[in-house]
């Protein structure tokens, strides 16, 4: 298969982890005779530094003419500590999601057997957890009208959703549940928010088309509690933009590190693959950032194009690395000095010689 992949490493640890994902994809291409072409472009704080624009036109154009986008991470402390900054790295990512119509962000959460002890949660609580979070990505409070009064003392962010925006992601969530455990949990705040009541209404209607899937509802505050009390109860979680952002960071604790969580952001036309973690500025350049989230995002890219065997090989390589403790310090149980690129090398070698390193 021929694929043009736009690579947007972004800020902080983004370039280091993305390099490992590209390494894995190149190994897959050579092993399976695919033709993957990678073209790099700037986004985020690096793009602001160069062009005072977090999403330069040429980056957006590249994304629109590519088959898929591999994204690193975004954000820089100099903007976090300056609330008055008008141009911010995050705008690059948000604009990209909006311009490309990437309305569904899919975030798988899994408790790996070998990492059960790395989570601060008890083993018996998390063992067997397998959740797929469907986070709406181009609407809600992130994109509603914003305002700040002239004296700077009153601010507002509007949370708005339309029936269409809810329907299109709901269908994806139900379809996914059909090939999983046949359950969708809608997370909302329908006891308070009008927009959440619309979500309940619309999702209940959509559910009628999926008779083999059970739909239940949880208020987001309760869902946050249930996520650490009994995460095994969840199959597919469907939720709006900001609730999904928060719940998925919380859920990452189950896996033992946020450095393990991959995601796919899809729309009608484009698809982007990105780790859920941020730019982790304190770790930049130290070789301690976990590349697994980025590598698993590359595996999700392969699944998107129907390359299931290829994706499976990456996943087995990842599980093998976890089992052998070829891991960065966030999850390394022996505190060996395993760097970001060593993890990438291991997975690359595994892809090149899968028979040499079978799972047993
Ligand atoms: C994420 C991130 C982004 C978000 C930020 C960087 C804008 O936290 O992808 O989860 O809030 O969506
Ligand atoms: Mn987030």
Is the distance from the beta carbon of residue 74 to the nearest atom of ligand 1 less than 6 Å?
yes
Residue nearest to atom 7 of ligand 1 (CA): 90
Is the distance from the beta carbon of residue 93 to the nearest atom of ligand 1 less than 6 Å?
yes
Q: Is 245 a catalytic residue?
A: yes
pLDDT (0 to 100) of residue 336? 75
Tell me which of 3.40.1360.10, 3.40.50.300, 3.40.718.10, 3.30.540.10 is the CATH number of domain 1-108+257-360. Answer: 3.40.718.10
CA of 2 to the centre of ligand 1 (A): 30
| pLDDT tens digits along 70-88 | 999 999 999 988 888 889 9
Q: Is 189 a catalytic residue?
A: yes
- CATH for 120-135+150-255 is 3.40.50
Q: Where are the alpha helices (DSSP H) in 219-307?
A: 220-229, 241-255, 292-304
Q: Which two tokens stand for residue 92?
A: 């690059």
Q: Is 123 a catalytic residue?
A: no
Residues with pLDDT less than 50, the chain: 359-360
Q: What CA–CA distance (Å, rounded) separates 299 from 22? A: 11
Do the Cβ atoms of 266 and 187 come closer than 8 Å?
A: no
Nearest bound ligand to CA 73?
Answer: 1
pLDDT (0 to 100) of residue 93? 97
**H or E element in which residue 160 lies:** none
Look up the pTM and report it. Answer: 0.96
Q: Is 72 helix (H, G, I), strand (E, B) or coil?
A: strand
Catalytic residue among 142, 161, 270, 280: 142
Domain ranges of the chain: 1-108+257-360, 120-135+150-255
| ipTM metric | 0.99
- SS3 for 304-333 is HCCCHHHHHHHHHHHHHHHHCCCCCCCCCC
Mark the binding-site residues for substrate, compressed into ranges: 97, 107, 135, 221
Cα within 13 Å of Cα(288), Cβ side:
14
Is the distance from the beta carbon of residue 9 to the nearest atom of ligand 1 less than 6 Å?
no
pLDDT (0 to 100) of residue 358? 52
Asked if the domains at 1-108+257-360 and 120-135+150-255 fall in one CATH topology, the answer is no
Is the distance from the beta carbon of residue 90 to the nearest atom of ligand 1 less than 6 Å?
yes
| pLDDT tens digits along 286-341 | 999 999 999 999 999 999 999 999 999 999 999 999 999 999 999 997 867 899 99
Q: Is 117 a catalytic residue?
A: no
pLDDT (0 to 100) of residue 80? 86
């Amino acid at each position: 298969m021929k694929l043009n992949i736009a690579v947007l490493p972004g800020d902080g640890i983004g370039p280091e982890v993305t390099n490992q994902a590209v390494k894995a994809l190149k190994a897959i291409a050579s092993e399976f005779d695919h033709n993957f072409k990678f073209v790099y472009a700037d986004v985020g704080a690096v793009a602001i530094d160069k062009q005072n624009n977090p999403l330069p036109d040429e980056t957006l154009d590249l994304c629109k003419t590519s088959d898929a986008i591999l994204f690193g991470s975004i954000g820089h402390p100099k903007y976090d500590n300056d609330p008055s900054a008008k141009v911010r790295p995050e705008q690059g990512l948000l604009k990209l999601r909006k311009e490309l119509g990437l309305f569904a962000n899919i975030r798988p959460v899994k408790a790996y057997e070998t990492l059960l002890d790395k989570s601060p949660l008890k083993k018996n609580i998390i063992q067997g957890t397998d959740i797929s979070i469907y986070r709406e990505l181009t609407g809600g409070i992130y994109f509603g009208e914003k305002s700040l009064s002239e004296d700077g003392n009153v601010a507002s962010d509007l949370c708005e959703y339309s029936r269409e925006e809810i329907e299109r992601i709901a269908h994806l969530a139900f379809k996914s549940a059909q090939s999983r455990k046949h359950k969708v949990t809608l997370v909302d705040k329908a006891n308070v928010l009008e927009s959440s009541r619309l979500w309940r209404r619309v999702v209940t209607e959509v559910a009628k088309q999926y008779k083999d899937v059970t739909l239940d509802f949880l208020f987001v505050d309760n869902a946050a509690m249930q996520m650490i009390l009994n995460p095994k109860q969840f199959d597919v979680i469907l939720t709006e933009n900001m609730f999904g952002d928060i719940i998925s960071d919380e859920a990452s604790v189950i896996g033992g590190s946020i450095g393990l969580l991959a995601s796919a952001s899809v729309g009608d036309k484009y698809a982007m693959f990105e780790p859920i973690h941020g730019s982790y500025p304190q770790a930049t350049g130290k070789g301690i950032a976990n590349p697994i989230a980025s590598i698993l995002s590359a595996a999700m890219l392969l699944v998107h194009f129907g390359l299931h065997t290829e994706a499976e090989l990456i996943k087995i390589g990842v599980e093998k690395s976890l089992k052998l403790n070829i891991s960065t310090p966030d999850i390394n149980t022996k505190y060996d000095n395993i760097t970001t690129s060593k993890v990438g090398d291991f997975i690359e070698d595994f892809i090149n010689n899968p028979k040499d390193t079978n799972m047993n």
